[in-house]
Amino acid sequence: MDKISDNDIVIPAIAVDGSYYPVGKLQAHREGILHLAVSVFVFSGEHLLIQRRALGKYHCGGQWANTCCTHPHWDEPMATAAARRLREELGFGVALAERHEVEYTADVGHGLRENERVTMYVGQADRSRLEIRPDPEEVAEVRWATAEELRGEIAERPEDFTPWFRIYCDRFPDLKI
């Protein structure tokens, strides 16, 4: 079971007692249900690969975010989801290490709300050798940025960045994820 309908992937939601139950991804965002997610951060030295989300995304289109994010499908291991989404969105894979777990809530527009327990994964790549092949349905563009550059850009134009990425940068200002 990985879909409730043709357009709603089933993801793990978190009950009050800490157990998981299946819920549609869009339902989780409409109702602000606490659910699992993953965020990936690929670095080349001090530079983080960030992406500008495609304009057609169901929320936060056109805004900059970390390398990629996703929700694990029901019964999909978190590390598998992180590696899957990196390949789907950016067309490459690197070794990923689990680093932190973060919970946050954020209004992402269009009547949708993130209420996520996020497992963060970090990878290293040589950007001079990395072949990035973004899926245009998911990613408008990519670029490399340092923590200092991101702090300045977010301070000047916070609306250019997704709510979760601003939260991550606030909690980890030196990007030592």
From first to last of its 177 residues, the chain has per-residue pLDDT tens of 344 344 579 999 999 999 999 999 999 999 999 999 999 999 999 999 999 999 999 899 999 999 999 999 999 999 999 999 999 999 999 999 999 999 999 999 989 999 999 999 999 999 999 999 999 999 999 999 999 999 999 999 999 999 999 999 999 988 887
The CATH T-level fold of domain 3-171 is Nucleoside Triphosphate Pyrophosphohydrolase (3.90.79)
148 is catalytic: no
Helix (H) or strand (E) holding 149: helix 147-156
What is the DSSP code (8-state) at residue 124? E
| Cβ atoms within 10 Å of 6's Cβ, excluding its own | 5
Q: Is 169 annotated in the active site?
A: no
Give the whole-angstrom CA distance, residue 159 versus residue 75: 34
Choose, from 68, 76, 116, 169, the residue flagged as catalytic.
116
Domain boundaries, the chain: 3-171
Among residues 69, 76, 89, 169, the one annotated as catalytic is: 69
Q: The whole model's pTM is what?
A: 0.93
Fill in the DSSP letter of residue 54: P
